[in-house]
Amino acid sequence: MIASLDALTQEKINLWLSGNYDADTKAKIQQLLDEGKETELTDSFYKDLEFGTGGMRGEMGVGSNRMNKYTVGSATQGFANYLKANFTGESISVAIAHDSRNNASYFAKVAADIFSANGIKVYLFKELRPTPELSFAVRHLGCNAGLVITASHNPREYNGYKAYWNDGSQVVAPHDKNIVAEVNKIQSVDEINFTGNPDLITSIGEEIDAEYLKTIQVNSINPAVITRQKDLKIVYSSIHGTGITLVPKALKLLGFEDVNIVEAQAEPNGDFPTVVYPNPEETEAMTLAMNLAKEIDADLVIATDPDADRVGAAVKNPAGEWVLLNGNQMASLIIYYLLDAWKKAGKLTGKEFIAKTIVTTNIIDKMCETQGVKCYNTLTGFKFIAAVIRELEGKEKFIGGGEESYGYLIGDAVRDKDAVASCAMIAELTAYAKDNGKSLFDFLTSMYMENNFYYEGLISLTKKGKAGAEEIQKMMADLRSNVPATVAGSEPVTVIDYTNLTSTDLKSGVITSIPTGLGMEASNVIQLVLADGTKVSARPSGTEPKIKFYVSVNEPLEKAEDFDAVLAKLKQKVSAIQEDLGLK
């Protein structure tokens, strides 16, 4: 024993050493004790790995604060208990998928065994598959719930557990908090039934792939353009993840014949050997793909994260340099193309809609208004976009939507962000641009010239510990009670406070209520809208010791040659706002 360990940590270690845990787990704990690994033991046992409203995520290893057989087991037993209580007397089924992370297939099998041990039928993907396909499978197979083992684009040490409901969306209220409550009731490893029932576990794979890919083909609006531009030169990287299973197939199905795979990143590998972070938002993760693009003079670069729900893209600018498009730019380009294509196809009837999050670029709102299409703004998180689709099903038609964090959705067959369908649509809109004598960068410029150049800056401040948490609370309170007279030379005209769901007109003093439902509920977010169209959103992170400020600014773009100058002006304006608000 290590004398300096605190009592609670030591108590949990003793519980794991004496309880019904396997011999290998106990041996690893004893080894850490024998080697005096105090810090590692404390980190592994000082608390329970939290099962939050969407699931859980953490480093892998032994202990109550790590992803392992027993924490996955506790989460799954609680999830199973809730399903049985919620669907009393029904035949319950669950679909399960996993990505390329280390231990992901093992954790998926552990979960399948526990669900089946509780009398729940399981459809288990026999190999790694993208998260959006799991969302599709839940609805396609008529399941009551779904589960994906993934830690998205976290570092290689991590794994995670994402829970889905019967509409293919990540769980929302009231089920999210109710599942958490059931998981928290599991107090002993002896309450977890690990003994699976093979008769209740069905292996799935290619047959679901085929049905899912059909929905992506249906999303295509201009197949004739693809036929003419079938030689569009595309570079694709799966960054060692699940995208390799379906993205090349989707592109081929649509008719693209020149898809160049980044072979060094094509093999699924939970160690992610060629990158520091398997995140297509990071330039470093996109470097191999962009190098190949330069080598072959490609038209487009696309790359997906390990569970293929997010996609990053790069394109050549007029100077011939490859540049990464950010999440706001790609979301707006997709919507710009979809709105125009639906209009030209005569598909806009007045009952269509777009959905996005409140911190995603307002150029989407403007484009929707121009085309007479409703744009619903939701809280941050794709489950809220899925909630809008669910609530309007049969009344209004979802065209597409997205969020600034590189997640997009086209059509309603899936109810989560979908990088496979997004890769197909990005390739199609690039083909459309080329068919009209433009590059994707030219297409972006045209969008800005028609709607103003919108630029979004993210200011993320880390405030650790108790003092940091108090500082974040004070920053939010100050914004609510002391709205500045001007910000970077422009006067605030509206304050939107999502804590009490009100919008206040600062000139008239009129307060308007924001209705709940349609992806909206109370949340600790506040927005300042300035007279010049600038929007500043403040949002404390729910999972990290951070507060994030999303700043959206815009200016007219008169001609394409002014792109760099206007961009520089907008970046300077974001810096001025950061300075004025003291965001340091």
Query: Could you give the CA distance from residue 308 to residue 57 in angstroms, rounded to a whole number?
Result: 17
- Dihedral of alpha carbons 211, 216, 222, 227, sign: negative
Residue 59 sits at the vertex; the CA angle it makes with 470 and 64, to the nearest 5 degrees, is: 80
Query: Could you give the CA distance from residue 134 to residue 168 in angstroms, rounded to a whole number?
Result: 8
For residue 538, what is the enclosing H or E element?
Answer: strand 535-540
Residue 260's Cβ-side half-sphere holds a number of Cα atoms within 13 Å equal to: 19
- SS3 at position 244: helix
- Nearest CA-CA partner of 221 in 412, 418, 399: 399
Give the residue numbers marked as catalytic.
152
- SS3 at position 326: coil
Query: Could you give the CA distance from residue 319 to residue 205 in angstroms, rounded to a whole number?
Result: 44
β-pairing verdict for 145-149 and 93-98: parallel
In angstroms, the Cα distances linking 22 to 33, 48, 76, 108 are 17, 19, 18, 18
β-pairing verdict for 526-530 and 397-403: unpaired
Q: How many residues does the chain have?
A: 584
For residue 165, what is the enclosing H or E element?
Answer: strand 158-165
Q: Which residues pair with 215 in a beta bridge?
A: none
- In this structure, the number of other CB atoms found within 10 A of the CB of residue 360 comes to 29
Query: Could you give the CA distance from residue 581 to residue 584 in angstroms, rounded to a whole number?
Result: 9
Query: Could you give the CA distance from residue 580 to residue 368 in angstroms, rounded to a whole number?
Result: 32
Query: Could you give the CA distance from residue 76 to residue 57 in angstroms, rounded to a whole number?
Result: 14
Based on the number of CB atoms within 10 Å of its own CB, is 199 exposed (0-12), middle (13-18) or buried (19 or more)?
exposed
- Nearest CA-CA partner of 339 in 233, 228, 450: 450
With tokens 């009670």, the residue in question is: 481
Helix and strand element counts for the chain (H, E)? 18, 22
